[in-house]
Amino acid sequence: MNRLGLVSLSVAFLLAGCGRTEPGPPAGPGPRLARVVLQTDWFAEPEQGGFYEALAKGYYRDAGLDVVIRQGGPSAHPATMVATGRADFGIDTSDDIILAVNRGVPLAMLGAYMQRNPQAIMFHRESGIRSFRDLDGRTVMAVPSLPFIAVLENTFHIRMSVMPSDFGMSRFLADRNFVQQCFVTDEPYYVRRQGADVGVLMISDAGYSPYSVWYATRGFLEHHADLARAFSQASIRGWREFNRGDRAPAEGLIGSLNPRMDTEFMAYGARAMREYRLVTGDSPTDDIIGRISRDRIAAEIRQLEAIGLLERPLSVDDVFDPRFQP
């Protein structure tokens, strides 16, 4: 997704699968490497750490790949880039991929790098908010099109007034009753530094927790399954190393690409990922990294059907290709 927004897609993307980047020249002695592009959903940051770890430590090169990680941003549309062949892989949330497939875009999830979604509702503790039900009648700044808004209203029988997000924090800091969407790995750090006593409600605790996934088009997988397998295996290796605490290679690369990512902030992001068990979920080991549960995707499809976002029946096999699981 475009971090906090639903991608806008058209039927033109049904032509996806062609136009992938050709293999690049070898960097020094050794076999020719296949160049592939990963399009991220935001600027370089710890939430993408495993991919940068795999790049920095040479795991992609070991797998025969010359991987280019293309940064996203506020108007990034990874699914659009992948669907039109301008990137080979993208990262996004599983619900965005389901909705894209619903619109006829031939994408398939390959693996999950986060078992729990980092999206949350951020509020001032003095506002009196303690639970999702306390959001009833409140104004929440968020991206209106995100599915979790309707899921929360449907699950807790509440109604919220949604103010379109400006992706900033100034209004939150100026008003102790202001409520907004956030990522637990990001915005709480900055508002706490400004003295706010902030609390969060994790969307995953409401029973709606899309995976964070990497994916490709069906056409790419048909013709380049070997590249998809190599990319998936190397990415899982990178995420396991990053999750185990050997973050210096990834953080060095992230910091060089995104000056906003200073050492203190990256340490906070890594702590938040561990505290909220974003990468491993409730699993006691990191063997879960990369895994996608068919039952969870089926439940997610049913939740999206229940709020009227799916225009046609979808099965798990329509949105997920299990061949690349660890």
CATH number at residue 155: 3.40.190.10
Give the pLDDT mean for 47-54: 98
- My answer on whether 233 and 85 are in the same domain is yes
Query: Do 126 and 201 fall into the same domain?
Result: yes
The predicted pLDDT at position 29 comes to 59
Question: Do 286 and 216 reside in the same domain of the chain?
Answer: yes
Domain range for residue 62? 11-115+210-324
pLDDT exceeds cutoff 50 at 22: no
User: What are 226-244's pLDDT values in tens digits?
Assistant: 999 999 999 999 999 999 9
**Same domain? 253 vs 136:** no
- Cα 74 to Cα 71, 85, 148, 168, 274: the distances in Å are 11, 21, 19, 11, 25
3-state secondary structure (DSSP) of residue 318: helix
Boundary of a domain, candidates 171, 206, 241: 206
Angle 100-308-129 from CA coordinates, rounded to 5°: 100
Q: 214 and 110, same structural domain?
A: yes
Looking at the 3D structure of the chain, how many domains does it have? 2
- Indicate whether 217 and 320 sit together in one domain: yes
Per the confidence metrics, is the pTM higher than 0.85? yes
Question: Is 107 in the same domain as 169?
Answer: no
Confidence of residue 74 (pLDDT cuts 50, 70, 90): confident
